[in-house]
A and B are shown apart, each in its own frame.
Chain A
């Protein structure tokens, strides 16, 4: 599409309007909390002027994007899907948002999520759950008609995964080309796998967190959701780099992320962690994982089994550290400087308590209380410090594996494909998070880069993704391998016929739905 814009095949305003109309048509997905229509059209106008003068800002100029609603956006309500921040309008842009806007991107809106990014289904936000566009795809519906059922058409829709479900649904339904998510325990990779997208979690310290409302400061990173690996690399190239406003960003000079085309994988060593062979893993995912390993082997790469001995403890470690940091980070919401404030004015403590009770949902409150428990003096050593020690063991496991000659690890992203919402809510948030984050959170503990690449459709017609984990700051190598893999598997484009009719003839011979950012 970027080339199309440069060549004048389509104008930014036309593109913007197409996406806005799609947003309206797909409103039932509940992917967006706020749609910034006026701003997007204004940005499109300015972009058009630049293109006319031949002064485009780059590959992202005039491209519609969406941003998860826990990134601060100046002048646009930022809620984190919580009652606590309803009506909160930040006075500044998050660094990553600013960088994208500086490149001329058109901000379509803020996407839905689990409240404060806590959850693995995008079902627990104050604005309702997000529906997976694949629930309405031809691929899924065709398979379902084979089984006789008398349920209403829409009652069995599927979850998107979480917590960046809104961003994933937005990209998957073609309302934008790129979306920002956040990844603390797999929140970008999980919905990417469920929605058939590329979900990139960059190395911790590569991309600035300034403006990202924090969940776990030592594990959060902004995540990138796109349809193609190349697009993710382009965006990463724009976002990576030191930010004086975020002292946890590294100061190393950032090389451009152009991905070479890999033709020869014979020098690669792919590691398959044996502890990730869980009994809960669905047969289809297991089979695809195996097939992917065989693919690498058949093309000459070395594929070996490796061991990450502390894997079974990583989810517990993550649970303690996450709730502890959350307890600390949520302390800022007291109703005084911003956000919701209750009506009681008896005393500061009563006001804080009531405000926080009204503003947070059960999930958030539960985590705050658990976190506070682990941080109590009598428990600090046994829980918090202990978890930090286990974290070091887990991080070391990865270091040892990479030092033994492995270039990337190949693992499943999720246990199975997206499930129906009605099934998902049978278990509570913390149980689901513990189950669904199982393959993804160890990566956050170690701060490594990881990417989920869609591989194939399941027997039910739903996407399944696999995860590649790379060495810290070797994001370019990781993406290069992912790109090679993506080309080999040729994941099908989602067929959303009902909404796609007016999209088909936008570009000369190509459907807009299958073009990448550069096209």
Chain B
């Protein structure tokens, strides 16, 4: 991923980021460390790709920080606007299915009735590899 080469160039000795912290950052939000970026990339399995993406994330976090001004003491989180109703559950009877062939058609790599994936026990390469 080319984004990694960008970071390697920007890395100051000691392994800390330079150039991504803005003096305008309000205290408490913290700048995003290389470790955090890597962590997020691994979790999301989506890479940042370029500096703009990191800036975008910083902006998003700064934007989200505005919520600190709201007093939510003793307020319960709202998960669904329909929380005062019972969730409908179907009875546990099979009424449809048997469409394996149709579903397999949408996949790029199939062997008999299996979706084929590459080996799963290899971790994503780390930044300094």
List residues of A whose CB falls within 8 A of some B CB. Answer: 88-89, 91, 204-205, 218, 242, 244, 247-251, 310, 313, 316-317, 319-320, 323, 327, 334-339, 341, 344-353, 356-357, 360, 362, 365-366, 368-374, 376, 383, 385-393, 395, 428, 430, 434, 446-447, 472
**A247-B88, A353-B46 are contacts. A320–B64 as well, Cβ < 8 Å?**
yes
**A218-B79, A336-B115, A389-B76 are contacts. A369–B46 as well, Cβ < 8 Å?**
yes
Q: Taking the complex as formed, is B45 at the interface, i.e. its CB lies under 8 A from any CB of chain A?
A: yes
Q: Is the CB of A390 within 8 A of B46?
A: no
Chain B residues within 8 Å of A319, by CB: 60, 63-64
**A250-B85, A336-B117 are contacts. A350–B79 as well, Cβ < 8 Å?**
no
Q: When the two chains form the complex, which single residue of A316, A356, A365 contacts B63, counting CB atoms closer than 8 Å?
A: A316
Q: When the two chains form the complex, which single residue of B48, B88, B105, B120 contacts A244, counting CB atoms closer than 8 Å?
A: B88
**A348-B118, A366-B56 are contacts. A395–B43 as well, Cβ < 8 Å?**
no
**A244-B88, A335-B108, A389-B78 are contacts. A365–B53 as well, Cβ < 8 Å?**
yes
Q: When the two chains form the complex, which single residue of A204, A368, A385, A434 contacts B81, counting CB atoms closer than 8 Å?
A: A204
Q: Mark B28-52, 1 if CB is under 8 A from A, else 0.
A: 0000000010011111111111001
The docked-state distance in angstroms from the alpha carbon of A434 to that of B66 is 13
Q: Is the CB of A389 within 8 A of B81?
A: no
16 pairs of residues in contact across A and B, judged by CB atoms under 8 Å: A247-B88, A247-B90, A313-B69, A348-B122, A349-B120, A349-B122, A349-B124, A353-B41, A369-B46, A370-B57, A372-B43, A373-B36, A389-B75, A389-B78, A393-B70, A430-B59
Instruction: Give the nearest-CB partner of A393 in chain B.
Output: B75
Q: Is the CB of B82 within 8 A of A205?
A: yes
Q: Is the CB of A316 within 8 A of B120?
A: no
Instruction: Give the nearest-CB partner of A446 in chain B.
Output: B81
- Given A204-B81, A244-B88, A316-B66, 18 extra CB contacts under 8 A: A91-B103, A313-B69, A319-B60, A319-B64, A336-B115, A345-B118, A349-B42, A349-B122, A350-B122, A353-B41, A356-B46, A362-B49, A368-B46, A369-B41, A373-B60, A389-B77, A392-B75, A393-B75
Q: When the two chains form the complex, which single residue of A250, A356, A430, A434 contacts B82, counting CB atoms closer than 8 Å?
A: A250
Q: Is the CB of A369 within 8 A of B53?
A: yes
Q: When the two chains form the complex, which single residue of A244, A385, A434 contacts B77, counting CB atoms closer than 8 Å?
A: A385
The docked-state distance in angstroms from the alpha carbon of A393 to that of B76 is 9
Instruction: Give the nearest-CB partner of A245 in chain B.
Output: B90
Q: Is the CB of A356 within 8 A of B80?
A: no
Chain B residues within 8 Å of A88, by CB: 106
Q: Is the CB of A91 within 8 A of B102?
A: yes
Instruction: Give the nearest-CB partner of B71 in chain A.
Output: A393
**A320-B64, A357-B49 are contacts. A369–B44 as well, Cβ < 8 Å?**
yes
Chain B residues within 8 Å of A91, by CB: 99, 102-103, 105-106
The docked-state distance in angstroms from the alpha carbon of A369 to that of B102 is 33
Q: Taking the complex as formed, is B9 at the interface, i.e. its CB lies under 8 A from any CB of chain A?
A: no
Q: Mark B88-129, 1 if CB is under 8 A from A, else 0.
A: 111000000001001101111100000101111111110000
The docked-state distance in angstroms from the alpha carbon of A339 to that of B13 is 42
Q: How many whole Å from B42's CB to the nearest CB in chain A?
A: 8
Q: How many whole Å from B71's CB to the nearest CB in chain A?
A: 9
Q: Taking the complex as formed, is B24 at the interface, i.e. its CB lies under 8 A from any CB of chain A?
A: no
Q: Is the CB of B64 within 8 A of A357?
A: no
Instruction: Give the nearest-CB partner of B72 in chain A.
Output: A389
Chain B residues within 8 Å of A349, by CB: 42, 45, 120, 122-124
Chain A residues within 8 Å of B105, by CB: 91
Q: Is the CB of B119 within 8 A of A348?
A: yes
Chain A residues within 8 Å of B80, by CB: 218, 248
Q: Is the CB of A357 within 8 A of B76?
A: no
Q: Is the CB of A347 within 8 A of B122?
A: yes
Instruction: Give the nearest-CB partner of B95 in chain A.
Output: A244
Q: Is the CB of A313 within 8 A of B70?
A: yes
Q: How many whole Å from B104's CB to the nearest CB in chain A?
A: 9
Q: Is the CB of B88 within 8 A of A242?
A: yes
**A356-B45, A383-B64 are contacts. A388–B77 as well, Cβ < 8 Å?**
yes
Q: When the two chains form the complex, which single residue of B60, B72, B88 contacts A390, counting CB atoms closer than 8 Å?
A: B72
Chain B residues within 8 Å of A390, by CB: 67, 70, 72
Q: Is the CB of B78 within 8 A of A392?
A: yes
The docked-state distance in angstroms from the alpha carbon of A317 to that of B95 is 40
The docked-state distance in angstroms from the alpha carbon of A345 to that of B109 is 11
Chain A residues within 8 Å of B117, by CB: 336, 348, 351
